[in-house]
A and B are shown apart, each in its own frame.
Chain A
Amino acid sequence: MTTTATLLAARGVSKSFFGNPVLRNVSIALQPGRVHALLGENGAGKSTLINLLSGALRPDGGAIEVDGRPVSRMSPAHARHAGIAVVQQELSLTASLSIAENIGLGAYPKRFGLVDYTELAARARAACDLVGLREPLSTPVGHLSLGRRQMVEIAKALYRRPRVLILDEPTSSLSATETKTLTDLLERLRAEGIAILYISHRLNEVMTLCQHVTVLKDGACTADQSLEETDAAGLVRLMVGRDPGDLFPRWRPSPSPASAISVRNFSAGLMRDVDLDIRTGEVLGIGGLVGQGQEDLLLGLYGAIPARTASATVNGASGLPGGVPSANALGLAYVPADRKREGLHLIHPIITNMMLPAFARLPALKLRSRRAERDMARGLAAQLAIKGDLDRPAQALSGGNQQKVALAKWMPHDPLVLLLNDPTRGVDVETKREIYMMLRNLAAAGKAIVLLSSDTPELVHLCDRVAVVREGRIKAMLEREALSEEAIVSAAMGAEQQKVAA
């Protein structure tokens, strides 16, 4: 079909973990000058395939080929040598090192056996310019927001001048502008003849950026075709194995709104002088560019960071909760964005993860009942369709199931206000749908849902109102009738003010 040489390929590879087949006879071929999309739900085997291609894992069967020649013992070192660079979904940066040091890590330019910092700075600067990173190179990576760290990760891959670039959900934490920079960059790299493998859950990105697609479902390849032959709905059908239903549940107005949280002149972290009323029975969206202080708003209300306010009423009690335990006692619950770092205890069994809020509020020396815990956890797992043995550590779960566990642990306590920080980030379509259904049902049951999200369609279709945050202030409160992606984005970028001024 094509005459271009394949740079990197997997031929009929299989891989099992502890007897569970994760990949079955999967083939994929990456060609220069092509952006190849890899799609599939969480747990479909995408990450395993990347690990095979980059030498982090060895296949049980089949072969990995570099430049058309099978490599019998592929290793990460071999992959680097062959010009294969991977941008992992789990950021692999060292927080205390500077941007330049992170970018060059493992491949520092040497002079007389010492690190040549001048040369490192020059080459790191070049890589940063490509991705639009303008922060000083000496900034510790720990000081950057998640989106900027993602850009450092990409710069780190580019620093090595790869021939094959593998990106695992690079845009899940990027703002709209950053995403635009990245897609422009990838277009340019493609034109230079680099082979790119692109993994994303955002289908519109895939449709505009990629030329070829491979779809995985339950470890098997369900499509390997040109993207021109299909559309977004077709892709979802290939991933899910059925016709895509409406992703968002039907919106219904809540019957009788009452005040759940009301704050005046609220300040916490980056947020300044916020007046906000959160009502029961509604899903209140929090939108805006990444890192404008939205997270501090949730954490401040939750009592997790210090906050000041002129007056506050939380579920009938006056004053803000002084700490997380008192916030929990007032009926507040918080689901963090970074589920691995903040939401879950990865090394502990799923069941103890689910029970933790209960342990936190029971009397300290009260004896546990393993049977009651197991019954409750089984009920939660059934309710949220969490698959698998509850005694396994939480790290064995796929991203979507981990998110469900992070949500499930609050359900037995029937929280009146759920503060959710980007609950669908890196979550597959099917789980997204389940989470959306759940949120609407909870709102219909008279709970207040505060949904901080970086996914604009989600804000438009799921929320009753959306507060758009920019520079630590709520710049716009969009009511249901006024909700559209354009309205949210323009408020987030500060475009509406210019319009008013004009």
Chain B
Amino acid sequence: MTARKESARGRRALTILRSRPFLTVAIVAAVWIAASFASRGFGAYGHLRYLVELGAVIGLVAAGQTFVVIAGGIDLSVAAIVTVSAVSLPLLSLQADPTGLTAVLAVLALTTAIGLVNGLGVALLRVHPMIMTLAMATFLQGLLIIIAGGSAVTAENPLVRWLGNARPAGIPAGVLLWVAISVIVLTTMHATSLGARIFAMGANPLAAALSGVSVASTTLAVYGISGFCSGLAGMLVLGMNGQGYVGIGDPYLLASIAAVVLGGTSILGGLGTYAGTIPGAILLVTITALITVVNASPGWRSILFGSLILGLLLLSGREQARR
């Protein structure tokens, strides 16, 4: 009896050790250890904390992206939504509200609404997610240029400034926000019926629909969540940066998708977990930091970044063939 229980526990431990999230964590640890031997300042607590803080922005954008990808779609408008958030918040800063909360809530409502429009296009108009979200991104970029122009806008919002700079108990507020969001995301994904519906829809939308899953409302939900998460990420970037400008969100499109895939979520939908995306996001900022250390020209940095992501994906196992 106890032997059986132990073997079951052993099997569970083995499953965790072999899982993609764990593998990604192991790669991050290996890279950190190797890099701290190679470069003196890399392993310092302050530097690692800074990496995680940068990772928080990617992690937040990738939270929504993980939901969308598991549901069988893709959101190519996340970068534009991050920019919308970072640019519109300073414009909305109201004198009447000293905390800045009203503006924050208004912007989150706006970005969630943008996500819902994506969802409407995908679910009701049956536009392919790639086309729908890419068109949305182009639309938003045009709108931002008209509203904000080429100049940077400075944020006067106290809440956002706190989010980007405060360190309660030595931990950056952005990281705390990421931890809180991670808990909510993982709970929604793996412990609610909505999460189960999202997985089912991503694996086989037809079978899900015939089993009574409302595909339209589930699709709306995932794109809405993605808009909300990108909106949060935009505020964090704004807080850390102090200024918002058109193009501030651009790095986060590839980064969010790469973090999702590095974390082992299937780009075909139906399989995956945010628990893998978290180390995936940290791995990405680590790679970026390493490339900066190498001190190459911007062109070579991009080439290195792209090649390293491809190499890592080959290393950590490609998508298994599905029938």
Q: Does B204 contact A (CB under 8 A)?
A: yes
In the complex, the chain B residue whose C-beta lies closest to that of A326 is: B212
Most chain A CB inside 10 Å of its own CB: which residue of B192, B208, B270, B271: B192
A391: nearest chain-B partner, CB-CB: B15
B193-212 CB mask vs A (1 if < 8 Å, else 0) is 11111011001101111111
Partner of A304, one of B187, B197, B210, B323: B210
Collect the chain A residues with CB atoms within 8 Å of residue B221's CB: 364
Size of the chain B interface, CB-CB below 8 angstroms: 27
* Chain A residues, CB < 8 A from B213: 325, 356, 359-360
Size category of the binding interface on chain A:
20 to 34
Alpha-carbon gap, A327 to B211, bound state (A): 10
Contact A364 B194 (CB under 8 A): yes
Per-residue 0/1 for A347-382: is the Cβ within 8 Å of any B Cβ (1 yes, 0 no)?
Answer: 110001001111111111111100000000000000
A359 near B204 (CB under 8 angstroms)?
A: no
Count A-B contacts at CB 8 Å: 93
Q: Say yes or no for B214: interface residue by CB 8 A criterion.
A: yes
A interface residue numbers (CB < 8 A to B): 302, 304, 323-325, 327-328, 334, 336, 341-348, 352, 355-368, 395, 409
B14 at the interface (CB under 8 A from A): no
Could you tell me if B199 and A352 are in contact, using CB atoms closer than 8 angstroms? yes
Interface pair B206/A368, CB less than 8 Å apart: no
Judge whether B188 is part of the interface by a CB distance below 8 angstroms. Answer: yes
Q: In the complex, given contacts A363-B193, A365-B194, what are 13 additional A-B residue pairs having Cβ atoms less than 8 angstroms apart?
A: A325-B212, A345-B204, A347-B203, A348-B200, A348-B203, A348-B270, A360-B213, A364-B192, A364-B193, A364-B194, A366-B192, A366-B193, A367-B191
B193 contact from A346, A359, A395, Cβ within 8 A: A359
Q: Are A345 and B200 closer than 8 Å at their CB atoms?
A: yes
Q: Is the CB of A361 within 8 A of B199?
A: no
Does the CB pair A357–B212 fall under 8 Å? yes
Provided the pairs A328-B212, A360-B213 are in contact, do residues A345 and B192 lie with their beta carbons within 8 angstroms?
A: no
Nearest 10 A/B pairs, CB to CB: A360-B212, A364-B194, A359-B196, A362-B193, A359-B193, A328-B212, A345-B203, A360-B213, A356-B211, A345-B204
Interface residue B4 (Cβ < 8 Å from any Cβ of A): no
Least CB distance, B4 to chain A, in whole angstroms: 14
Task: Output the nearest chain A residue to B322 by Cβ-Cβ distance.
Answer: A347
- Chain A residue numbers with a CB within 8 Å of B270 are 345, 347-348
Shortest B85–chain A CB gap in Å is 24
Using a CB-CB cutoff of 8 Å, which residues 145-189 of chain B contact chain A? 187-188
Most buried by A among B187, B206, B208, B211: B211
Residues from chain A with Cβ under 8 Å of B210 in the complex: 302, 304, 324, 334, 336, 342-343
Q: Inside 8 A of A366's CB, which chain B residues have their CB?
A: 192-193
| Binding site secondary structure of chain B | helix
List the B side residues contacting A365 at CB < 8 Å: 188, 192-194
Cβ distance B197 to chain A, nearest Cβ, rounded Å: 6
In the complex with contacts A325-B212, A334-B210, A355-B203 CB distance below 8 A: no
* Chain A hits for B271, CB < 8 A: 347
CB–CB B214/A348 < 8 A:
no
Within the complex, which residue of B187, B188, B200, B207 is in contact with A359, where a contact is CB–CB below 8 Å? B200
Complex: A359 Cα to B208 Cα, angstroms: 10
Mask: chain B, 86-125; 1 = CB below 8 Å from A; 0 = not = 0000000000000000000000000000000000000000
Contact B200 A356 (CB under 8 A): yes
For A367, the closest partner residue in chain B by CB is B191
* Contact residues in B for A395 (Cβ distance below 8 Å): 323
B209 and A324 contacting across the interface, CB-CB below 8 Å: yes
A357, B204: Cα distance in complex, Å: 14
CB within 8 Å for A368 and B212 given contacts A341-B207, A345-B204, A345-B207: no
Shortest CB-to-CB span from A40 to chain B, Å, is 22
* Interchain CB contact under 8 A, A304 and B209: yes
Given contacts A345-B270, A356-B196, A368-B191, contact A361 B204 (CB under 8 A): no
Taking the closest CB of chain A, its distance from the CB of B240, in whole angstroms, is: 31
A325 partner residues in chain B, CB cutoff 8 A: 212-214
Please give the distance in Å from A283's CB to the nearest CB on chain B. Answer: 21
A352–B193 Cα distance when bound, in Å, is 11
Q: Which of B191, B214, B323 contacts A360 (CB 8 A)?
A: B214
Q: How far is the CB of A301 from chain B (nearest CB, A)?
A: 13
Distance in angstroms between the alpha carbons of A334 and B208 in the assembled complex: 12
